[in-house]
Structure 1
Amino acid sequence: MTPTMSNIATLDDVRYQEHILQGVSRTFALTIPQLPPALREVVGNAYLLCRIVDTVEDDSALTLEQTRELAEMFIEVVSGTVEAETFARALYPLLSEHTIPAEHDLIKHTPSVIRMTHSFNPVQRQALERCIRIMGQGMAAYQESESLSGLENLAEMDRYCYHVAGVVGEMLTELFCDYSPEINQHKPALMQLSVSFGQGLQMTNILKDIWEDRKRGACWLPRDIFLQEGFDLNDLQPGCPERGFHAGLGTLIGIAKTHLQNALAYTCLIPSHEAGVRRFCLWAIGMAVLTLNKINHKRDFITGREVKISRRSVRATVLITSLLASQDWALKKIFAISSRNLPEVQIARS
C-alpha cells in the first residue's frame, strides 16, 4: 500500500523520535539503535506508544475514570479513528509533576509519534495496534484493582505481566518475522517463548520497584507465594527482616530467572547473522540477570537505587554479549555462570 501524504512521517518526526527516546529510557535508547535500519524506527515507535500508555497509567493525579477514558482514547488514536491532537490536548494539562519532563514533552508531541505509527506497513501497524489495545485495556483494569495487598496469586501475576510485557514480546516477534523470512520460519516457537521473555523482564522490574510502587499504593507481588512462607504482604514494611518475605522473594527471583532462560532460548532461535537483533535481546537479558543478582544478594533493600546496576556493569554486559552474540554455546555458558547464585525454580509450561 502506498502511503498518503497524511500519514508520511516528516524528517522532523524521525528526529523527534530519536531525541525523545534518550529522555524516556536509558535502556531502550541503548538497545534500539542496535537493530537493523528496517526495524529501528518501528521498534522505537512501538516503545514510545507503550510509554504513552504507561504515562496515562502512572500519573497519580488522574482519576480512575480519567485513566480509563484516556487509555481507550489512545487505543483509538493508534488505530486512526481519533485525532492525536485531541488526545494530547485532553491529557497534557492533566499531567502532574510526578510525571517526568520528558514524558510531558512526549505527550505534547503525540501527533508526531502517531504520524510515524501511521507510516508503517499494514503488518507493522496491526502489530502495534494489537499491542496497545491489549496493554491499554489491561493497565486500566489493573489500576482499578491495585492495592498494597498484592495480587491474589502467581497466575494473576502472570496475567498482569502479559498485559504490560508479554504482549510486547508478541508484538516484537511479529515485527521481527515481518522483517526477515528466515526469522519467520521459527515464528511458532518464537511466539511461544516471547511471552516468557517479556515476563522475565517485567518480573525483574516488579522486584526492583517494590518500594517505589508501594509509595503510590500499588503492589504487584502474588500473595500466595508469600503466604506459603507464612508472610502476609499487608504487613510489608521497608527493610522487612521477616524470613518468610525473603523466602518468597527468592521464589520470585527463581521464577524470573527461568523466564530469562526462555528469553535466551528465544534469542538463540534468531539467525546468528542477525547480530543487531540478537544484541537487542541479549543486552536486555544480561541487564536483567545482573539486577536479579543484586536483589538476591540484598533482599532487605529499601529503594530501587540500592539494586540498580552500575554503568560499568552495563558496559561489561554490552561488550561480552556483543563479542559472543553469534555463539549459542558461549551465550548459554555465560548465562549459567552469571545466574549460578540465583534460586532454581521451575515454572509450569502453558
Structure 2
Amino acid sequence: MRNDSDALNYQNEILKGVSRTFALTIPQLPLPLRRVVGNAYLLCRIADTIEDDPDLSVEIKKIFSQQFIQVLAGDYSAEQFAHALTPQLSAAILPAERDLIAHTATVVSLTHCFNARQQASLLRCVQIMTAGMSHFQQHCSRAGLADLPELDRYCYHVAGVVGEMLTELFCDYSPDIAANEKQLYLLSVSFGQGLQMTNILKDIWDDWQRGVCWLPRDIFLAHEFDLQQLNPEQYHDKFGSGLKELIAIATEHLKNALDYTLLIPKKEIGIRRFCLWALGMAILTLRKINQHPNFNCSQQVKISRNSVRATVMISNITAQHDLLLKLIFATLSRPLLIKTK
C-alpha cells in the first residue's frame, strides 16, 4: 500500500492522463480542496469508465458499479475490485483509464483520509451518478430522450449531482462560503447542467457514431424534425432550429453558473478561477456551435488552444470584478439567447 504522499503524487499525475481540462482547473483550488476535488473527479471517472465500456454487459456493469460503491464505503476490498475489473476492460478503454482502474486502491486510500462530511459527499455523488448512468445507458438509442424533463434528469445524474458535491465541499472548506450555502445549492445543479448540455451539444455526432443520442425529442418535434432522421452527412435547417433552442437553454443554465460563482467570496480567487475557466470555455464552445450548426464532428466546434489561453487570462484578470464579469458574460452570450420559433 502506498503512503499518502505517493497516493497524492499518483492522483496528480493520472489527472493529466484522464482529463486535460480538470488537470488545468483543479490546481487553481486551495490545497485542501485541490486534494479532495481531484480525488472526487477520479472516483467519478472510475464509475464512468465502467459504464462506458462497450464490451461489458449490463449485468457485469451493475455488479462492478455496486462493488465500487462498497469499496468507497469501506465494505469491499479495492484491490479485489481492481484485480477483477482490469482484465475485463475492452480495448476501447484508454490506457490512462485502465491504469486508473488498476490503481483504485491508491485513489481510495486518499478518499478514506478525508473528513466524514467530505467522504459522505463523495459517496453520495458516486451512488447517484452510477444509478443514473446505469438507467440511462440501458435505455439510450439514436432516437434521443423523450423530452426536456428527461434531459434534465440525465444531466442531474451525470453533472448536477457533481455541482451539489462541489458546493458541499466548498462550504465545508470555508465558513464564509457556507454563509451562502442555500443560494449556492439552488444554483449548483443548473451550473452542472449548463456544462453537461454544452458537452452533449458538442458531442452529438461522436455519440451518434456510438449509437447514442442525448437530445430531447420534444424540442426538435416542435421544429418539425424527427431525431431519427439525424445524419452527419445531411444537415436540416429544422434540426438547426432545435439546436439553437437548446443552445439558448444551456446558456441560461450558464448564467446561473455565473451567479453561483459571484456568490463565492472575492478573496477565494482560486475557487472563482476554477468556476470561471469552466464557464468561459463552455460559453466559447456554445458560440462555435451556434456559428456552425451544420458541424458533423466535435473537432469542428472544439475551441482552440488560443481560446483556452484567452479564457484563462481574462478570467484571472477579472475574477474579483463582478460587474465586469457580468458585462463580459452578457456580451458573449447575447447571440446565444435567441430562440428560434
Q: Give the TM-score normalised by the residue count of structure 2.
A: 0.98
Counterpart position of 1:42: 36
Counterpart position of 2:204: 210
**What letter is aligned with 1:328?**
D
Counterpart position of 1:188: 182
- State the distance in 1 between where 2:234 and 2:263 align: 41
Counterpart position of 1:284: 278
- State the distance in 1 between where 2:33 and 2:50 align: 26
1:244 aligns to 2:222 (yes or no): no
- Structure 1, gaps ≥5 residues long: 1-5, 346-350
Report Cα offsets for 1:11-57 as digits up to 9, x if no partner. 11010000000000010000000000110000000000011111011
Aligned residues: CA RMSD: 1.3
Counterpart position of 2:91: 97
Match of 1:330 among 307, 324, 335: 324
Task: Return 9-18 or 151-160, whichever deviates more.
Answer: 9-18
The residue matched to 2:337 in structure 1 has which SS? coil
Match of 1:138 among 120, 132, 135: 132
Report Cα offsets for 1:90-113 as digits up to 9, x if no partner. 211111121111101100101000
The residue matched to 2:232 in structure 1 has which SS? coil
Aligned 8 A contact 1:9 1:116 in 2 = no
CA distance change for structure 1 residues 188 and 344 in 2, over 3 Å: closer, same or farther? farther
Aligned 8 A contact 1:199 1:259 in 2 = yes
Report Cα offsets for 1:223-282 as digits up to 9, x if no partner. 000001111111100043211110110010000000000000000000001000000000
Task: Return 159-168 or 231-240, whichever deviates more.
Answer: 231-240
- Structure 2, gaps ≥5 residues long: none
Counterpart position of 2:296: 302
Deviation at 1:9, TM superposition (A): 4.9
**What letter is aligned with 1:140?**
S
Aligned 8 A contact 1:239 1:300 in 2 = no
Written as runs of structure 1 = structure 2, the 5 A alignment for 1:144-159 is: 144-159=138-153
Counterpart position of 1:79: 73
**What letter is aligned with 1:241?**
Y
Count of matched residue positions in the alignment of Structure 1 and Structure 2: 340
- State the distance in 1 between where 2:70 and 2:291 align: 44
**What letter is aligned with 1:270?**
I
Deviation at 1:316, TM superposition (A): 0.3
- State the distance in 2 between where 1:273 and 1:304 align: 37
Counterpart position of 1:348: none
Aligned 8 A contact 1:138 1:164 in 2 = yes
Task: Return 239-248 or 228-237, whichever deviates more.
Answer: 239-248
Counterpart position of 2:18: 24
**What letter is aligned with 1:177?**
C
Q: Percent identity?
A: 59
Q: Which runs of 4+ in 1 moved over 6 A?
A: none
Report Cα offsets for 1:141-175 as digits up to 9, x if no partner. 11111111000000000000000000000000000
Counterpart position of 2:261: 267
Deviation at 1:87, TM superposition (A): 1.4
Counterpart position of 2:158: 164
The residue matched to 1:341 in structure 2 has which SS? helix
1:221 aligns to 2:215 (yes or no): yes
**What letter is aligned with 2:261?**
T
Q: Give the TM-score normalised by the residue count of structure 1.
A: 0.95
- State the distance in 2 between where 1:277 and 1:239 align: 42
The residue matched to 2:334 in structure 1 has which SS? coil
Report Cα offsets for 1:77-126 as digits up to 9, x if no partner. 11111111121112111111211111011001010000011110001001
Aligned 8 A contact 1:229 1:245 in 2 = yes
Written as runs of structure 1 = structure 2, the 5 A alignment for 1:54-133 is: 54-133=48-127
Counterpart position of 2:312: 318
- State the distance in 2 between where 1:239 and 1:252 align: 21
